[in-house]
Amino acid sequence: MTAAIEAHHLFFSYGHQAVLRDISVVIEQGEFWGIVGPNGAGKTTLLLTMTGYLRPQHGVVLVEGQPVVRMSRREAASRVAFVAQKAEVAFPFTALEVVLMGRHPYSGLAALDSAGDVETALHALEQLGCPDIATKRFNELSGGEQQLVLLARALAQEAPVFVLDEPTSFLDLRRQWMALQVFADLRARGATIVATFHDLNIAARWCSKLLLLHDGLVEAAGPPADVLTPTRLESLYGIPLAVDLRSDGIIRVDYP
């Protein structure tokens, strides 16, 4: 079976500043990978290379076996739904209109208001528990509501792979759980999820595998219990941290 995403020996620099240094990872179909690490570790840059928004100076990213940088924007969008940390919407679109943008790879601009597309977009908002904001202007929504709209746009895209940069940003505890449960359900039906997290407990709770980055290098990769060790985390974050494996198999990271 072809892997969902393969990154081989990625190097990326902004000017003379190296951000990714020989990053390699293979993400199989149906996995939920969390990318974690301190600020400045290269998490967002790695996601941007995985989606083709950035072209690495060296190395290659394959999406379903094809080099992502050779794909047209529409082809890439039909394979990967990407949610950035923050999105600027310049025009006074409603939340529903922003979600409908996720249908571009299939419909084109002329068909955005088709009944099928509108149904798909409304269902995405309903999955995230916010159908009531459909007619509100995106720029008038709270930060959490805007985040839900961007996640709903990704759901409406109906791609087999979801790449999410801090998907729980601005969300309260209830909305975090609802959103992550939606993506966990998608994974159970065969979708592949790759997401960055600052919160190690959220990453350990929802992800099947973690990629721990530090200074543009892979420090560890694998199941959360193998990656999140006290010695490794103290070395990376510079403070002592306790790691507790609960009886239900869930890992908790906290101050000692």
The 3 state secondary structure assigned to the chain is CCCCEEEEEEEEEECCEEEEEEEEEEECCCCEEEEECCCCCCHHHHHHHHCCCCCCCEEEEEECCEEHHHCCHHHHHHHEEEECCCCCCCCCCEHHHHHHHHHHHHHCHHHCCCHHHHHHHHHHHHHCCCHHHCCCEHHHCCHHHHHHHHHHHHHHHCCCEEEEECCCCCCCHHHHHHHHHHHHHHHHCCCEEEEECCCHHHHHHHCCEEEEEECCEEEEEECHHHHCCHHHHHHHHCCCCEEEECCCCCEEEECC
107 pLDDT above the threshold of 80: no
| Count of domains observed in the chain | 1
Assigned domain for 91 exists? no
What CATH code is carried by the domain that includes residue 226?
3.40.50.300
pLDDT at 207 over 60: yes
- The answer to whether residue 125 is domain-embedded is no
Contact present, 51 and 224 (Cβ < 8 Å): no
Chain-wide mean pLDDT for the chain?
Answer: 94
- 131 in a structural domain: no
Q: Is residue 52 part of a domain?
A: yes
Domain assignment of residue 220, given as a range = 5-86+159-254
Q: How many CB atoms lie within 10 A of CB 89?
A: 17
On whether the CB atoms of residues 223 and 34 are closer than 8 A, the answer is no
Query: For residue 36, what are the β-bridge partners?
Result: 212
Alpha-carbon torsion, ordered 74, 77, 79, 82, to 10 deg: 170
- Residue 1 is predicted with a pLDDT of 79
List Cβ neighbours of 199 (8 Å cut-off, separation of 6 or more): 168
In a domain, 120, yes or no: no
What is the per-residue pLDDT across 19-39, written as a single tens digit (0 to 9) for each?
999 999 999 999 999 999 999
In a domain, 108, yes or no: no
In a domain, 169, yes or no: yes
Please compute the mean of the pLDDT values over residues 7-12 and round it to a whole number.
98
pLDDT in tens, 109-160: 554 568 889 999 999 999 999 999 999 999 999 999 999 999 999 999 999 9
Q: Using the predicted structure, report yes or no on whether residue 165 has a pLDDT greater than 90.
A: yes
Is 44 a domain residue?
Answer: yes
For residues 249 and 137, what is the distance between their CA atoms, to the nearest angstrom?
Answer: 42
